[in-house]
Amino acid sequence: MNRATLAELQRQRCYPSISVLVNTTPAVGLSPSELDTAMRLVGQVDDRLEGDVSDRLRQHLVERLRALIEEQSGEPSDHALALFVSTQYSAAVRLSRPVIERTTIDDTFTTRDLVADLNRTASYRLVTISEQRSRLFLGDRSRLVEQHDNVWPIERRNDQTPTAWARDLDHHLSHEHDSHPLPSVVAGVQRSIRNLAPALADTIGVIAGNHDTTSSSDLHRAAWPIVTDWLETDTARAVSQLDAALSANRYAGGIHEIWPLAHDGRIATLVVETDYVVPARVDRNNQLHPADDPHAPDVNDDIVDDTIELVLQHGGAAIIVTPGTLTDHHHIAAVLRY
């Protein structure tokens, strides 16, 4: 799971957009029972599409889903599999955490579990800093990749003073953070870090020593425990942000309050419980009306998932937390930009 895949899925707009989520066991391929479950969920899609779209289109989409499952059946599996099919697009994404098995049919794909998986995958930045050289890496749970372009790695010129080198390095680091904010790990001698990057944003930890030539695999092994510790504080950090926002009058709670704010682009950070689902109708004034039957033709299966997508489209962040974390916040809450 990566940000590019998530962004691509969230760009899709087409009815019907079908999402199927099924739990799997990390192995060489899908087990017979997992295949049966996936096909049963496809059967639910078939039933729901009957009478909603033409028979020809229904059969076409169902066959594409079945073919996608067959394609994935022999591939290495993880903890869950998400399948996405519309008339314009299809994709299969393996997820590193279990899901609530379900199907959805809407104008957009269901991506909440992908957001949660991306949070756990923890894309992060690692920067090595010394008096002579700086390297930039991007990493996730499985690997760390060094960035090579017309800027990175940065080498100090022979005629460059320490002050000029620090200024140059700070400029490039600030540009990276502003264009793509990520939690950052810094690798270097403490003195060099203190002198060259005293204000590096979102630093979550330091790997001591000179790492001008350390391999990416060695840096990943050193950095991942730091990232793991940072991940374990996700929920506490999210609740702390909400408490601070409440004190600063930049807080919103409950889906009815948050929905219009998400449309207006006012949400900086959305926090939502992983199992919170609200089927609803949306009227011409963009007001929500919760519905008892999530499969009715004019009902949005899950308005919460659409809210998450809106926040991300406007450049906000989404943090998915465990059930019960936000009981006092009506299961969904937000930090507002203003």
187 and 212 Cβ atoms separated by less than 8 Å: no
In order of 149, 177, 202, the CA distances from 134 in angstroms are 13, 15, 18
The CATH code of the domain at 122-231 is 3.30.420.60
- So what's the pLDDT on residue 292? 83
Cα separation, 16 vs 314, in Å, equals: 24
CA-only gyration radius of the chain, Å: 23
The long-range contacts involving 215-221, CB below 8 angstroms and separated by at least 24 positions, are: 216/137, 216/143, 216/144, 216/145, 216/146, 217/143, 217/144, 219/126, 219/128, 219/137, 219/144, 219/187, 220/139, 220/143, 220/144
259 and 307 Cβ atoms separated by less than 8 Å: yes
**Is domain 234-336 classified as CATH 3.30.1330.30?**
yes
Q: What is 3-120's CATH superfamily?
A: eRF1 domain 1 (3.30.960.10)
pLDDT, one tens digit for every residue, the chain (338 residues): 566 788 889 889 999 999 999 999 988 889 999 999 999 999 999 999 999 999 999 999 999 999 999 999 988 888 899 999 999 999 999 987 889 899 999 999 999 888 877 765 557 889 999 999 999 998 877 778 898 888 899 999 999 998 899 888 888 888 887 777 678 899 988 888 877 766 665 588 889 999 999 999 999 999 989 988 887 777 788 889 999 999 999 999 999 999 999 999 999 999 999 889 898 999 888 899 988 887 777 888 789 988 988 898 888 888 888 889 999 999 999 999 99
Cα separation, 252 vs 245, in Å, equals: 9
Domain boundaries for CATH 3.30.960.10 within the chain: 3-120
Render the burial of 184-215: b for 16+ CB within 10 Å, e for the rest.
bbbbbbeebbeebbeebeeebbbbeebbbeee
The residues near 37 (Cβ < 8 Å, ≥ 6 apart) are: 22, 23, 101
- DSSP secondary structure letter of residue 320: E
- So what's the pLDDT on residue 209? 92
Dihedral of CA atoms 240, 244, 249, 252 in degrees, nearest 10, equals -10
Q: What residue spans of the chain are helical by DSSP H?
A: 3-11, 32-49, 55-73, 112-121, 162-179, 190-196, 216-231, 234-247, 255-263, 303-313
Cα separation, 216 vs 234, in Å, equals: 26
Question: For the chain, what percentages of helix, strand and coil (3-state, to nearest 5) are there?
Answer: 40, 25, 35
- So what's the pLDDT on residue 25? 92
Token pair in block for residue 162: 């320490």
For residue 14, which amino acid is it? C
141 and 96 Cβ atoms separated by less than 8 Å: yes
Looking up tokens 């809106």 gives 310
Domain boundaries for CATH 3.30.1330.30 within the chain: 234-336
For residue 80, which amino acid is it? A
The torsion angles phi and psi of 152, rounded to 5 degrees, stand at -105, 145
- So what's the pLDDT on residue 200? 63
Domain boundaries for CATH 3.30.420.60 within the chain: 122-231
